[in-house]
Structure 1
């Protein structure tokens, strides 16, 4: 809610506290992000609006031009499921990835908001220079957390696949089962947002590499 309302400082404080607490949870054997996307789609259908991908202008460009897209929706735990299902899916591994991603998103959106303030300044000042430095630091923090979320996601996914292979010889390898679709969507979102950070940081090579990954 804090991210949706633009209260990024509050969101960062709460998520940082939540991340520290989540470190005391044991990682469960089941890992899935798909239900997070399902509950979002249900909410968006009810509201009949979708602001998950927002266009924003580059700092040095005209306001009428659109240069990039950032996935702006925080991941939510699907509270419509039973307590048993919540504990099965969200204790430990999945919850940790959700928190790290949301924390990265909060830093990213705060950086965008800060850059807009800098862009609307009438003339360069020492304050605007300080704001630019702050934006850069926020983007670096966001980038680090996105990469951490991606690494944790990959590790948990590999662990789950290995456990499934050990438990049965008839493991489904279908690309289009629900868990795989959720995993693909999560990777696309992170790759896109990381690419946008590289784009506004003028790192064209890494930006293009992220787009190719998407």
Structure 2
């Protein structure tokens, strides 16, 4: 429920690759929260945007991209749970769990 923000000191720097990611994620989150607030099952736009973030970030190999994919998958799991789509919810949660385990392994191995 918290948007991704940038630090004020980074505003003057080139943010060409990260800014679209932040904007897309925050837009997905806004649509997600709007559907929750209005108690509707109108999550279509949120799902599309979270999927865009997730699929785009998996193609990249950086830790920041991995983090974006992890958060998008977690939020997608919540949406699928609310839509009673247990199969897609489970797929998302499996990715989240494996991502967290990989992050833990990476921390321990360094």
| TM bucket, shorter chain | 0.7 to 0.9
SS at match of 1:136: coil
Q: Can you list the C-alpha shifts for 1:65-118, whole angstroms capped at 9, x where unaligned?
A: xxxxxxx111112222373xx21xx12x21111111100000000111111xxx
Give, in whole Å, the separation in 2 of the partners of 1:82 and 1:99. 14
**2:38 aligned with 1:114, yes or no?**
yes
SS at match of 1:142: helix
Q: 1:200 to 1:74 in 2, by over 3 A?
A: same
Residue matched to 2:20 = 96
Q: Aligned-residue CA RMSD in angstroms?
A: 1.8
The structure in which a higher percent of residues are helix is 2
- 8 Å contact from structure 2 (residues 29, 46) kept in 1: yes
Matches within 5 A, 1:1-214: 72-81=1-10, 83=12, 86-87=13-14, 90-91=15-16, 93-115=17-39, 135-137=40-42, 139-155=43-59, 157-158=60-61, 180=63, 182-214=64-96
Give, in whole Å, the separation in 1 of the partners of 2:67 and 2:56. 15
Q: 1:196 to 1:82 in 2, by over 3 A?
A: closer
List alignment gaps of at least 5 residues for structure 2: 97-110
List alignment gaps of at least 5 residues for structure 1: 1-71, 116-134, 159-178
Higher relative contact order (CA 8 A, sep 6+): 1
SS at match of 2:10: coil
**TM-score, with structure 1 as normaliser:** 0.41
Give, in whole Å, the separation in 2 of the partners of 1:189 and 1:101. 9
